[in-house]
Amino acid sequence: MAKTDPLEIILCAPRGFCAGVDRAIQIVELALQKYGAPVYVRHEIVHNKYVVDSLKAKGAVFVEELDEIPDTEAPVVFSAHGVPKKVPLDAEKRAMFYLDATCPLVSKVHVEAQRHHADGMEVLLIGHAGHPEVIGTMGQLPDGAISLIETVDDVAAFEPRDPEKLAFVTQTTLSVDDTANIVAALKARFPAIQGPHKEDICYATTNRQEAVKQIAPEVDAMIVVGAPNSSNSMRLVEVAERSGCPRAALVQRASDIDWDFFAGISRLGVTAGASAPEQLVDEIIEAFGARYDISVSSNVTARETISFNLPKELRAVPA
């Protein structure tokens, strides 16, 4: 391969940071600005090593559980994925000052689950076991009040206490198509089941998947910039493959590119998960630019203008 080999790079738009991720990162940065280091963060604020490392460099200290934090007056930030109800209660018992960076769209799912439970419903959560968002949502209700559904097979195996008193909510970062199949199976088996008034999969997840679907059949390969523990990024790889892209790969940084995997391509699609910063996309374009004669264009499928309010304690801090 010579540097003169042409390569057309098509960027999916929208891609990268969503409003919830943007807000969560701002909360940590503004807390550092207002209160100084350290600012403790429970779990990765968002699932991206570059973001986490850059916040660590500014004085953020990441922990998995509150018991790793010494008695302190320093702020504690809860990650964008949301936390079980027990976490803020434990923080209050220890008189910790905490800032909740839970994405408002995840909080909406928490409220829905609590409302259904209060109405006497048995609640199902469509999601991936072990994901922090799922742990947080299930932790809103007492043990046994909410059951996890991961697949259509899980729907067939589920035995409700009362099929007339069932409701479901979903993780916000799922595959739109997979979730539609699971919801269809639930409605077929339990016609009385209640769902959200507006679907729980967030606008950003939906928009990024739609953008990939449009590009995938037109390119030889697709790169999804993101982390392997990022649910929405992993779903983008699956969506690209299912939509007709012959090769799709998750790439965290330019240094991780497997050049053999991309050998012989002339059209490359690039997108980024909702927790991946644009600098990493630029870095990957630059890496291809060092090996190919590249042209870069953008395919815009939606415009995103949504933004979320910061916690009141941080609103007066100049960004």
Catalytic residues: 133
Give Cα separations from 247 to 12, 142, 234, 284, 289 (angstroms).
Answer: 16, 44, 14, 17, 20
- Give the full edge-to-edge strand order of the sheet including 122-126: 146-149, 122-126, 166-170
Cα 20 from Cα 10, distance rounded (Å): 26
What distances in angstroms separate CA 209 from CA 94, 125, 151, 206, 268, one per listed residue?
42, 21, 19, 5, 17
Token pair, residue 294, equals 């590249």
Cβ atoms of residues 252 and 279 within 8 Å: no
- Report the pLDDT value the prediction gives residue 254, as an integer from 0 to 100: 98
User: What pLDDT score was predicted for residue 160?
Assistant: 96
pLDDT score for 199:
83
* CA-based nearest residue to 163, from 121, 199, 127: 121
Which contiguous run of DSSP H or E holds residue 41?
strand 39-42
As a whole number of angstroms, the distance between CA 200 and CA 171 comes to 7
Domains and CATH numbers, the chain: 6-17+203-300 (3.40.1010.20), 19-103 (3.40.50.11270), 107-189 (3.40.1010.20)
- Distance between start and end Cα atoms, the chain: 46
So what's the pLDDT on residue 197? 82
Q: What per-residue confidence (pLDDT) applies to 319?
A: 65
- pLDDT in tens for each of the 319 residues of the chain? 556 799 999 999 999 999 999 999 999 999 999 999 999 999 999 999 999 999 999 999 999 999 999 999 999 999 999 999 999 999 999 999 999 999 999 999 999 999 999 999 999 999 999 999 999 999 999 999 999 999 999 999 999 999 999 999 999 999 999 999 999 999 999 999 999 988 898 999 999 999 999 999 999 999 999 999 999 999 999 999 999 999 999 999 999 999 999 999 999 999 999 999 999 999 999 999 999 999 999 999 999 999 999 999 998 877 6
Contacts (Cβ under 8 Å, ≥6 apart) of 15: 208, 211, 225, 270, 271, 272, 276, 281
